[in-house]
Structures are given as structure tokens and as C-alpha cells.
Amino acid sequence: MSFLDTIRIALRALLKNKMRAVLTVIGVVIGIAAVTTIVSIGQGANRLVQGELENLGTNVIFVIPGQTTDGGVRQNDAPSLTAADADAISTECPAVLAASPLVFTGGQVIYGNENWSPKEMLGVGTDFLLVRNWGLQAGSFFSEADVESKAKVCVIGQTLIPKLFRTTNPLGETLRVNNVPIRVIGILSKKGANMVGDDQDNLLLMPQTTVRKRLLGSPMDNIHAIMVSARSTNQMSTATRQIRNLLLERHDIAPGEEDDFDITDMEEVAGTLGMITGTLTLMLSAIAGISLVVGGVGIMNIMLVSVTERTREIGIRMALGARGRDILWQFLIESVVLSSIGGVIGLALGTGMSMAATMLINAYKPGTDWPMVVSFPAALVAMGFAAAVGVFFGFYPARRASKLDPIDALRYE
């Protein structure tokens, strides 16, 4: 008997028991659908994170202050970084392209009868746009003279235009920021939402000296952070090392003393986030894969029942010349076909569920733009796994059928 004949007999047997076949594949359908959905959402999360980090800049390094020290003795929790540190990083670290001090503030912005509270209000340096890889749509950015003179000027994000100015051209107009008059000299190009749906264009930038002295009224020269751009991703570790050595020297921190600053690079963050999303996806997929095992057990049970019910049929086939391996292949093919059909249906269902989940996420958090990812290799793996379930759980019933004694099988009622 040829292999094609065996396949035809196996398919004919399945078609004779359609309802049983449908009930048998449900477990596999649920398992494959669950795994496909989880993998798709996990890969979407990973792509979203990577896209967000690329948007920010994978060669970006953050320096944040720790506790100030004096001769190795902790003094207080005041910020330990200054704008001079940012300037020194820019000029004295060869692996650094640019650096900008950051000073955080907040409050209400008023223009005429309109008012708005931007998501972010930052005091920055002249190289902020270079560090962030951000452009201007119109106007100009701050000059060194603006920083030195604590100029009352600002650059606004796209969101502030309809909120405050409506149809008026913002350039040259004067806002009031915490009751301080600030003139608009530039408009940032559109950036869009970040990975959690926060509007990056809901932003107002001012010279860091203006924020520190005019808005916050601080007598100190301390800043809240330094944002650094390395010359390339390949020089991230070099830039980090150069920054640390420079700040240790500038802050008079002796060997063995604790740093009064922390350095975080986006490449490290990207790797950590990728590992977290990958691990979560793997764990959830493993949990969902339990239903595949349950489905496989269901296939094995149904196939064992089928072998018992068709014992006489098996005896007749053997009496007509079918070999044990022909019987083995017949039942094994039935099992693989069942699980493969379940895999195809589960893959389609999982893709639909992934699309629905993506739409719900984007609807719940407008602007997030969560990507829909259907990986062709992952689909192949899912189908291969479904077929493997059929082989693994179908082998025992198939082998049992092939070992039946023809005479005993013919006598079976």
C-alpha cells in the first residue's frame, strides 16, 4: 500500500466523524490562538519600546545627581550637578557629541484669555535639539547670549499652538509663564506620542538659566540632570567612562568614595526593556502552551477510543495485506492532520485576537500607536509545534493499533 493510499484512508476516517474531529481540535485551537496572541502583543511591545528609544536616541546618556559629598562625608540630598559640568562634558569628553543641562519646572502658561499647562516645561542648553535629534519647524533656538543673559524667550511644541494661539502665528508673541513674560522665538517640529501615549509635543523649552533664576528664583547653580549624546552607539561605553572620570575629578571624589551622580545610557535601558518584554512573552507563552498539552492529551484519548472502535476494521485491513507500519502511519496521519487543522484555525484566530487587542490598546490610549506584529517565523513555529503535538500524542495510539493481532482484531465485536 502506497503512502498516498494511507493518507486517503486517514482523511476518509476523519470525515466520517466530523463532530468528533471538531471537538478534538478545540484544545489545539485554543493553545495556538493564545500563544499567537501573546507573542504578537509581546513583539508589538518590544517594537514600540525600541521605536521610542530610537526616537529619543539610542546613543543618549543621562547623568542625574546623587547626594553631595565633602571629603567623603554625605552632606545632603541637594543636586550635585551644575551647568558647568554639562559644558565640561561637551568640551572635554572626545566620545561625546553634545550635552545639555536640564532643569524641570511646571505651571500654567497664559496667552490673552487662553491658558494651558504643558506636560513638560524644561530649562535646557543650546545643544538640546542636537542631543534629542529634534528639529525646528519655524523660528530659531536659544543662543549662548540668551543663556548668559537669562533671556525671557521660549520654544514651543506643536500642541501649544491650537491650545493657546488658535489661528495666530506664535512667533514673536509673548506668553506669561508663572507670571513671567516670555517671548516665543521658535516652534519645534512634530514629534508625536511616546510609547505610553504621552504627547511629546506638549512641551515648552526655555534657557536653563531663565528657569533657574527667573522662574524658580534659585540662588544655586545646580541643575536637575544632564542629557548627553554620544558620537555613535559604538562609543556609548567610552563616553560613559569619560563622563564618569571627568565628574569624579570635577567633584573631588577620591577613590573608594561613593559617586554623587548616576549615569544611565539608553542602550542599556533598551537591552533591559527588551529582556523584560522577551521574558514576559516567553513566560506567558509557556502558560498558554499548557492548553496545547491539554489539547494533545485530548487527541491521544480520542485516538485511543478510535482505535478501540475500529479494531475490526484494522483486522480486515491487515487480513487484506496491510502491514503494521501502514496502520501506524494511518493513525499517525489522522492525529497530525487533526492537530495541524487546529493549528491553522488557532493561528487565524490568534491573529484576529491580536488585531482586536491592538485596536483596543490604541483606542484606550490614543496616540500610543501600538504596532500590530504578526511574525512569519513565529507562525511557522506555531504550525510546527501543532504538528509536533499531533506526532507526540498520536504516536502511542498509532503504535497500539499497529501492534494488534489480525485474528484477535477480526474476532472483536
Q: Regarding beta strands 222-223 and 81-82, do their DSSP bridges make them parallel or antiparallel, or are they unpaired?
A: antiparallel
Categorize the per-residue pLDDT at 54 as very low, low, confident or very high, splitting at 50, 70 and 90. low
pLDDT digits 0-9 by tens, 262-297 = 998 777 776 777 777 778 777 877 777 787 788 888
Among the listed residues 194, 190, 182, the one whose alpha carbon sits nearest the alpha carbon of residue 107: 182
Task: Give the per-residue pLDDT at 72.
Answer: 46
Q: What is the mean pLDDT of the chain?
A: 83
**Position 408 pLDDT exceeds 90:** no
Instruction: Provide the H-helix boundaries in 17-136.
Output: 18-56, 83-92, 128-132
**Position 67 pLDDT exceeds 50:** yes
pLDDT digits 0-9 by tens, 195-241 = 666 788 999 999 999 999 999 988 888 899 999 999 988 888 899 99
**Position 77 pLDDT exceeds 60:** no
Task: Give the per-residue pLDDT at 289.
Answer: 75
CB atoms within 10 A of CB 272: 11
pTM above 0.85, yes or no: no
CB atoms within 10 A of CB 289: 17
User: What phi and psi values does residue 306 have, to the nearest 5 degrees?
Assistant: -65, -40
Rounded-to-integer distance, Cα 297 and Cα 292, Å:
9
